[in-house]
Chain A
């Protein structure tokens, strides 16, 4: 029973981290057809903003700075580079991978490779029953991921930008023909996706380790979710994040992370193979 409760709580917590990483990636890919391989390093940027400002300004202000700062960085990035890569998945992979390396090396140059410290804003843990516990910060992570998913769903379904985003996703030519300014929609979508990466980085920083190379595992996890969940669909992204988190925890709690990685990735490969789609053709 303790193992089962541990799996559930750890699975939900892992799912929240997957979801935080995947949300930004999925709307960018869905709307713009850009495979953003810099997403992990944008998460790293969010963590660095918090690591550098939290002790001076307090953690809540640092989170706002991370979201706004990485979002603004994304807006600029779209203006100077990404807009040339729309709907070219292969070129966008190469281009954003270059951006990823540039970000990582710039951070290394400016701040060095040493590990950074972000104090846990809320310590301690909650007994969730049967001898299992869940750290309060993991609960905050889950709440933060749920809020972010809710906010993205709200933007997609209830705002003009969301309506335009959905129009660009489903009928790009018709949307342009109706006078939709796709360039503006794309720019704000990319900024929103980057802001979500900033939020992800800000929320995981206190629990994980902050250093220039930290972004890659988040990118890989987010990709797994996006490939399985399809693009631009918030509900499906939430469901697959949870499924992967729970599936991973179900193996990792009793058998260790190495075995869990093997099982989860083999399962993902089997699902993708059964669907006969790939990253390059997944866009409908």
Chain B
């Protein structure tokens, strides 16, 4: 007994020693790091380096490759338009291979070795949450272009994608007025659909509607027979779908196969993009509804030029979508801010220059303006799926400022002042 305990204590001591040593090594590495700002602030006509952090391999690569394409296109256009006060943008791409541990290492590498001015990228919320502490530690800026659930506004992150209030506050009243008052909500079971559902429910009540039931499914669920039977029994007037990815085509197909049509009982979705429609076949999705801050089919001069340039560079079948456009806008917003900031591209100077900066060429159809809460404003649209798998625009709403902590989700007085230091 005594022997065992002594052995245990000795092992514990050795373990602690190793940990301390490891910590010392880490600390030593940290001290070697130069401030990224000092490296990036060199002036003259040297190129300005920006890091592009995307998964070019692994499970997320299908979407993230296209997002990376969007960022590269923006870099090319900024340079073609004369660069930033005569200086070219030089993109440095790092592939984080759909692995968030690698994302942190690559972010570190971009900031400390390449000394980039900013990093643009990420896609899932998990990727964003993983890398933000790195940017805080090194006092560098991260630009995130994907729409997400909100509930965050960080000092070192610039959010060029939408948060739920920007596409829901006009959408829900539109649904109640045009489609019906009794809503049945289905969603995937994680923070984004849950947050969207909460906001939808509150907005519906405020506008004379009601939610007759809501159901959530773990990711990867592809069997919805029981829920569709329940939908038939409860007789709602609209089904709100916050299902994502692999669940979406299965739900739409089984819905139609059970004899439910868009005429009798339309689906109004928040995440059914061109990608999911292609995977279920256009006839399954027609003529249900979807809201977004961007559709490829938007009829405005900026979007026409954007889609044309994108397809000229990446092939005529290139599909453009919300996170791609958000990331494209992020590069442009940085470029506009850097022009304003002049020679001083330190994080502080850039952050000051970014707030209030506008990019007039946003494919969303309205100038994208970076707000004081580090989120951009966005217009929103309602699209109806047509038989080509694209969306016909049936309603257009004016741009809204982002409210990352909407009153529907965060009790009054509990919302932090934006931007706040991020806490994972």
Contacts and interface: CB of A to CB of B under 8 A. Distances in A.
A217 B258 contact: no
Nearest to B284: A120
Nearest to B283: A119
Interface stretch (B26-34, B88-96, B219-227): B219-227
Nearest to A260: B226
Contact of A137 (B257, B278, B281): B257
A129 interface: no
Contacts of B62: 112-114
Interface residues of B, number: 38
A187 interface: no
Interface in B243-287: 245-250, 253-254, 256-259, 275-276, 278-281, 284
B215 A257 contact: yes
Contacts of A7: 229
A135 B259 contact: yes
B388 to A, nearest CB: 14
Contact of A125 (B59, B249, B257): B257
Contact of A113 (B61, B247, B258): B61
B233 A2 contact: yes
Contact of B220 (A13, A17, A120, A217): A217
A137 B258 CA distance: 9
Q: Which bucket holds chain A's interface residue count?
A: 35 or more
Nearest to B247: A209
A243 interface: no
B384 to A, nearest CB: 20
Interface string A268-284: 00000000000000000
Contacts of B59: 108, 113
Interface in A126-172: 127, 131-138
Nearest to A124: B259
Nearest to B214: A256
A208 B71 CA distance: 34
Contacts of B280: 117
A138 B150 CA distance: 40
A211 interface: yes
The winner among A6, A115, A211 for most chain B CB atoms within 10 A is: A115
Closest 7 CB pairs of A and B: A135-B257, A115-B279, A252-B226, A6-B229, A125-B259, A208-B222, A10-B225
28 contacts: A2-B232, A2-B233, A6-B226, A6-B230, A6-B233, A10-B229, A112-B62, A113-B59, A113-B62, A114-B279, A115-B249, A115-B275, A115-B279, A117-B249, A135-B257, A137-B257, A207-B250, A207-B257, A208-B222, A208-B253, A209-B247, A209-B250, A213-B220, A249-B226, A256-B215, A256-B226, A257-B221, A258-B216
Interface of B: 59, 61-62, 189, 215-218, 220-223, 225-227, 229-230, 232-233, 245-250, 253-254, 256-259, 275-276, 278-281, 284
Interface of A: 2-3, 6-7, 9-10, 13-14, 17, 108, 112-117, 119-120, 123-125, 127, 131-138, 206-209, 211, 213-214, 216-217, 248-249, 252-254, 256-258, 260
